[in-house]
A and B are shown apart, each in its own frame.
Chain A
Amino acid sequence: MSTGGMVKAIFFTLLTLGFFFVIWIKNPFAHKEVYEVPEEVAGIIWDPKAVSEGRELFIQTCSSCHSVRYDGLYLLSLEAKPEWKKILRTMGKPIFEEREGKLRIKGYYLPRDVYETVAFQDLENLKASFGKVPPDLSTIYLARGPGYLYQFIMDPQKVLPGTFMPKLFLPEYDKEAPEKVAKIVAYLRSVSEPPPSEKVKRTVMGAVTVGYFLLMGFVLWFYRRRLLERMGLH
């Protein structure tokens, strides 16, 4: 290749790579709000041991208004109804969890239309109190990320002025408030993300797949080289 050709090739390659880096990986031109997780609680959010405690805290403080259908958690007012368990068993799909090597039913997943029909009055009551139905939080971690959720639960008005979400944790009276909020975020993370063992499997699977294709590329490349040499085409 001539020097001019080389310069052109490098120019277009860098231009293309730069473009896709900006569009797909990191766009320094686009405005994005960043919400940080304080260092002292960051460990809790990613700690699998904090999940079950976070779930309990969620039931105590959040499930009066919010459901997590993907984890089988519904409004407390519904849980109190005598027919609720039967509705779950007949209309829902069981959500399994593995504990001590055994599969057990953790809860039931109800399709949205079924849930909104059977919980109609409870949801309407919430709407009358807050102006809107507080959202189901099954995918909120993926939508907002840990930083936003932590900051929002700690001080909803600061992050989203005008929101009807009340401030439930008061660090000035409860020193454990930041930890408790972090545990709730850890729980919401566990609903959205695969369990740690599954994550390891996916990482190994990804490494093997990428490695396989890389290797196959080299095999084909060298095989071609040898073949063309034999054919006198190289």
Chain B
Amino acid sequence: MGLRGTYRERTVEYKVPKNLTFPYVFGVLALITFALQIISGTILVMYYKPVITHAFDSVNYTIMKEIDFGWLFRHIHAAGANFFLAIVYLHMFTGIYYNAYKKPRELVWIVGWLIYFTLLVTALTGYLLPWGQLSYWGTVVITEIPTSLADAPILKDFFGAIGETISMWMKGGYRLEDLALGRFFGLHVILLPLLLLGLVSIHLFLVRAAGISNPEGYEIDKEKEPEKVVPFHPYVTLKEGAIAMWYLALFFFFVFFYMHHFLPPDNFEPADPLKTPPHIAPEWYLLGFYEVFRSIPSKFWGFVAFNLILLLLLLLPFLDFSPIKSARRRPLFFVMFVVFVISCMALTILGTMSPTPTNAKLGMFFTALVFLFFLSLPVISVIEWGWYKTKGGQA
């Protein structure tokens, strides 16, 4: 066979549904952004110093002023982190919309969730590295969250000890210092990227093994319905290649001309453990969870709620057991999906606002809607099983 044979088998002879829509491109875009992060991160790690007396200057002086094109790689890495999370969210919502988590793709979803979770931890560990005020205090907020377990209605001491231990373990002591910075650095540049690389490989392998899902929600028999499939190359590769080029144009527009959001002003002040900034909030990709946490009056239940959302996201293939796939053919699911998307966006935006009583009430309302989405899935599934059976087992 040789290389030529493998190429033919993997690209030209590999058939995919003809009706793949635009959102299917987000997977490839996530892969491209991951590659950009690895390349830019490799350059940055050559000049970054993970010591608290040098970290801020190594980023803002050595990388931004001394090294040729250091500024470019920092811009790429900072914008890339935001774009990566944005694309992964879009990819996840596409997967939910087309029910790409259902049989035979449950494992694809579960590995995808693991990628998402690892990515959140990677972003979190990377956020501390510039050692600016936002880096420092954002991480302080995040590492203090587990201590809210002490607010448990029962077994306060037991839960308190667990929370305290997790918090201490994350911080490496009572305060964020060199130990924490070193740990975060090690995790961010070695362990987590390797883990991501492995998980992404498994994810891609599983996607190829199970086949790409279909916007219409039925499985195509490639042998019996050859008119519904097309060769992966050149049909999909060139289409997604063109979109990837336009995506890179947008990405580099931000890199060169609009870095204001990705390099926030507050982070250009060196970390000062004695000076708490007036507004501290995590990055936008965590704000939804943060809003769930802070809008619930009990810290313990806030902690449980946002962790439960993460868990329910993982269990999606089992909550939604309807035989019918894709929101295109599931009106009840479509309505709940819209409720879910709008609630997630609203929670994120609420997270950027001041914690007023009205905002807390709104936060609780949208949190309830997010849970309603997950709880509605088994109910919708039962109803759809009825429809499915009345149609004589036709999806």
Interface, chain A (partner B; CB < 8 A): 5, 9, 12, 15-16, 19-20, 22-25, 27, 29-31, 69-70, 93, 109, 111-113, 116, 135-136, 138-140, 142-145, 192, 194, 202-203, 205-207, 209-211, 213-214, 216-218, 220-221, 223-224, 227-228, 231, 233
- Residue in A111, A207, A211 whose CB lies within 8 Å of B54: A111
Docked-complex contact A111 and B53, CB < 8 angstroms: yes
Mask, B216-232, CB within 8 Å of A = 1, is: 00000000000000110
A-chain residues with CB within 8 Å of residue B246 when the two chains form the complex? 213-214, 217
Give Cα A221–Cα B266 distance, bound, in whole angstroms: 42
Closest to B267 in A: A143
- Residue in A9, A93, A143, A224 whose CB lies within 8 Å of B268: A143
Give Cα A116–Cα B71 distance, bound, in whole angstroms: 27
Interface SS of chain A: helix
Closest to B236 in A: A224
- Which of the 9-residue segments B146-154, B199-207, B345-353, B368-376 touches chain A? B345-353
B234 at the interface (CB under 8 A from A): yes
Closest Cβ of chain B: how far from A137's Cβ, in Å? 10
Do A220 and B349 form a contact, CB below 8 Å, given A20-B86, A23-B284, A70-B61? Answer: no
Closest to A221 in B: B242
Docked-complex contact B256 and A27, CB < 8 angstroms: no
A selection of 17 A-B contacts at a CB cut-off of 8 Å is A16-B90, A23-B348, A27-B349, A31-B353, A31-B354, A69-B61, A139-B269, A143-B267, A143-B269, A194-B71, A210-B252, A210-B256, A213-B252, A214-B245, A217-B249, A228-B235, A233-B230
Docked-complex contact B268 and A213, CB < 8 angstroms: no
Do A227 and B238 form a contact, CB below 8 Å, given A29-B349, A217-B243, A217-B249? Answer: yes
B35 at the interface (CB under 8 A from A): no
Closest to A23 in B: B284
Give Cα A55–Cα B90 distance, bound, in whole angstroms: 48
Closest to B55 in A: A112
- Residue in B57, B242, B244, B352 whose CB lies within 8 Å of A23: B352
Counting chain B CB atoms within 10 Å of each CB, the highest count among A9, A20, A31, A224 belongs to: A224
B-chain residues with CB within 8 Å of residue A23 when the two chains form the complex? 261, 284, 348-349, 352
B248 at the interface (CB under 8 A from A): yes
Closest Cβ of chain B: how far from A196's Cβ, in Å? 15
Closest Cβ of chain B: how far from A55's Cβ, in Å? 17
B174 at the interface (CB under 8 A from A): no
B-chain residues with CB within 8 Å of residue A29 when the two chains form the complex? 349, 352-353
Docked-complex contact A138 and B60, CB < 8 angstroms: yes
Docked-complex contact B269 and A202, CB < 8 angstroms: no
B241 at the interface (CB under 8 A from A): yes
Do A30 and B234 form a contact, CB below 8 Å, given A138-B61, A210-B253? Answer: no
Counting chain B CB atoms within 10 Å of each CB, the highest count among A69, A139, A227, A228 belongs to: A139
Give Cα A25–Cα B354 distance, bound, in whole angstroms: 19
Give Cα A143–Cα B238 distance, bound, in whole angstroms: 43
Closest to A142 in B: B268
Give Cα A161–Cα B265 distance, bound, in whole angstroms: 21
Docked-complex contact A220 and B352, CB < 8 angstroms: no
Closest Cβ of chain A: how far from B346's Cβ, in Å? 10
Docked-complex contact A139 and B353, CB < 8 angstroms: no
